[in-house]
Structure 1
Amino acid sequence: MSLSQANKADALLLVVTLLAAISWMFSREAVLAMPPLLFMSLRFLLAAFFLALVAFPQLARLNREQLWRCARVGLVFGIAMSFWVLGLAFASHVGEGAFLTSLGVVLVPVIARLFFAEAVPGSTWLALPVAVAGLALLSLEQGLHLEAGQLLFIIAAAIFALYFNLNTRAANTLAIRGANGETVEQPRIPALALTTVVLCVVGVVTGTLSLLFEEWQSALVQMSGRLVMWIVLSATVGTALRFLVQTYAQSLSLQSHGVVIMVLEPMWTALMAAAWFGESMSLLQVCGCGLIFLSLLVNRWRAVRKLIRLI
């Protein structure tokens, strides 16, 4: 039996959460050895370059209006990533950072409703508080320590929610009502071309901020083969592959509530951090993982009910 578009999108977004969790490890290693905005710029520009090698035919067919839509998504994303990487550099509690950043996913349906008048299923509203509770148990065992890094993560989360919505709308065909009352179809932008332009704009935004506020000389002098490895892994696995899969998944459905599945990211991050850094998970964190899974079951209850009937 073939997968529906929604189920296919869910499966791909699940893959994205795994890639995102891996990317946390790469990014954390890199920002400990070089200026964070410089790292982000190199990471995204390199990822855009790799994708452009494949995406050139699609890029050549984009018109000015489509390029502007891509650039708008990239600009919003670039600002969000700038706040995120600064939070990662300044925060002393990475688990809290994962929690606060993941609130952006929780805010996606809220932004969709407030700014784009998108209808959100009741199951999603029921799932959101369960997801927040799970994220809190997973990441805030020692309490929430309000500091500069955490504030940066909160700002990044709000902007990420806007980015998710803009990216979904750019990747899908939209019916836009003009000033004269006529409905005009706004064609979708292919996922590969959209991802390439967005990542390039993020690289330019973070690179510009790095030129203004960071010192490059010491970072370039101390560049090691290990650091280059983290940058390349972040660019290929954690950026090019991750965001291409994410954009393609978002292109399968205009509805934003499916993105809630990405609350799994901090759970994978915690599990991978346990393996990577030798950390252990407490009972509260395990309970948090359980609540996150429960929130996904609530959010996708209709599909779960159909699966149970088949079994």
Structure 2
Amino acid sequence: MHDVTIIGGGPAGLFSAFYSGLRNMKTKIIESHPYLGGKVHVYPEKMVWDVGGLPPLPGQQLIDQLIAQGTTFDPDLVLGVKVTSVKKVDEVFLVETEDGSEHWSKTVILAVGGGIIEPKKLEMEGAEAFEVSNLHYTVPSLQRFKEKRVLISGGSHSSIDWANEMAGLHADVHLVYRKEELKGHEASIDLLVEQGVHLHEQSSIHALAANESGDRIESVVLEHVDAGITSIPVDEVVVSHGFNRDASLLDSSPLPLARVDNFYVKGNAQSSSSIPGLYAAGDILHHEGKLHLIAGAFQDAANAVNQAKQHVAPDADPRAMVSSHNERLEEHNKKLKQIRMSTN
């Protein structure tokens, strides 16, 4: 029996694990993917600016640091297994997974972000054949696109950022989007123009033309609202049309959990839900004043753990002692000082 089981191993889940360890709680993380880090894996080379106290750093470095912090107190990890339902049995929780396992816990923290996410794929016959060559739904390495002819389909912030970063690597970039205007930061859109990115508004991919051997996309046929059909030769194609989210966990759980838009957990600023002992952190949590930033997920996590601690031990302090005075960190601080001294 665990004190707290955290469903989701992204930023909110990892900080929840760190904070619950700080509060001396027996902790478990269950993550559907075979790795920790959550959605940040979608942009491992993208610079992340919105974490307080940290200079801008690549997504992968942030993942590494989140994992190092989140596993400080050795939580039990269950990776690569999807949670199928959460039930309450005699005032404790039964978390069931698709492999038939049962996980019992005194409290549960939902940290599933936007749900289990998968990129929306190009709905075009035969497109999947190019996924092994030059059709991409994520950008794990920007260097692949250096000095290439690249077409990006999508008008999201990620599309704009990728276009700018690839243009900075001397790629010849075409950005294709359905609307008349891009919705993004003004400075980022201005940079597209400054770097010579070709903008194709009110346009969409009409067809993919393969090379002679049929194993790569050689050109992309675009359909424009006002300009008919054009063809653009390419080396690489990136499709950034958003993500499909899987809400089956909450849909299939028998708990009378209050939700917003039939998806998000309706909670409060203390990360509590309508079910005693069940809390939420990160993007899955909804309440007035909710901050949808990684920094906001950290606050959600600390609040959720504090609520869980008091649920398990009603006489416990409502908040953990700050890290600079916390006895749980004294031994870790000694080790860190020894490492720093040995490297100087």
Query: TM (normalized to structure 1)?
Result: 0.23
Greater Rg by CA = 2
Specify which structure has the higher proportion of strand.
2
- State the TM-score, normalized to the length of structure 2: 0.21
Task: Please identify which structure carries the higher helix content.
Answer: 1
**Structure ranking higher on relative contact order (CA contacts 8 Å, 6+ apart):** 1
